[in-house]
Amino acid sequence: MDTLFHFMIALFGGLALNVRKSYPMRFIFAAALLSIFIDVDHFIFAYKRTFHTLFTAVFIPATLFYLAYLYEDKREITLQSFFLVLIVMLTGHLLMDMAYSTEGLMLLSPLSSTFYALPKIDIMATSGFYSPIASTPGIALAIYGLIIYIGLFIEDFIYFFEEKHEKARKAVSDALKSFSGKS
């Protein structure tokens, strides 16, 4: 998968996350640029895809998210939001590589050398006309949409938990209400 495609998918994911928040465009652009740096392993290690792992895409940004949670001013959740957006973008990067890659990714590296890929799927309406109703790239985009939706939910939870000073159970309840339109 080419780097421009990864950048655009990350940018679109950031813009989708921006629907409910008002992040500055430089915030989304910076996160999208940062999300393509895991492709550096193409130039250094060529075939190993060392940085295309859940450790790089989820664990490191989640740790930084947690540190920002601990040390950031509770009225300012900018760094937390940045790392959450970055997790969503990096996860999209991995999903697209899993959809288009023939060999897959070593998602659990260095713990496992097993390669993971999305199965190649073409759901056809008729056998006489090649126009799939759903295919692997479309399914990968649908999964990415779900991940964006989860990111939006987490943002709402943080808002209700930190800014409204609600207990966790009440924050989850209010975040669910905001998604169902019953706020």
pLDDT recorded at residue 94: 94
What is the pairing mode between strands 132-135 and 122-124?
antiparallel
Strand spans (E) along 80-157: 122-124, 132-135
> To the nearest whole percent, how much of the chain has pLDDT over 70?
92
Residue 55 pLDDT exceeds 70: yes
What pLDDT does 76 receive?
A: 61
Domains in the chain, number: 1
If one compares 33 and 181, the residue with the highest pLDDT of the two is 33
Q: What is the pLDDT of residue 75?
A: 56
User: pTM for this one?
Assistant: 0.86
Does residue 57 surpass a pLDDT of 80? yes
CA 58 to chain centre: 9
Q: Is the pLDDT of residue 28 over 80?
A: yes
Close Cβ partners of 163 (under 8 Å, ≥ 6 residues apart): 74, 75, 77
pLDDT level of residue 40 (50, 70, 90 thresholds): confident
Position 179 pLDDT exceeds 90: no
Average pLDDT over residues 101-110: 87
Q: Which range marks the domain in which residue 119 is found? A: 3-180
Chain-centroid distance of CA 108 in Å reads 17
Rg (CA), the chain: 18
For 60-93, write each residue's pLDDT tens digit: 999 998 888 888 776 565 788 889 999 999 999 9
Confidence class for position 50, pLDDT limits 50, 70, 90:
confident
Sorting pLDDT into bands at 50, 70 and 90, what band is 7? very high
Mean pLDDT on 5-23:
88
* CA-CA-CA-CA torsion sign (85, 90, 96, 98): negative
- The predicted pLDDT at position 47 comes to 57
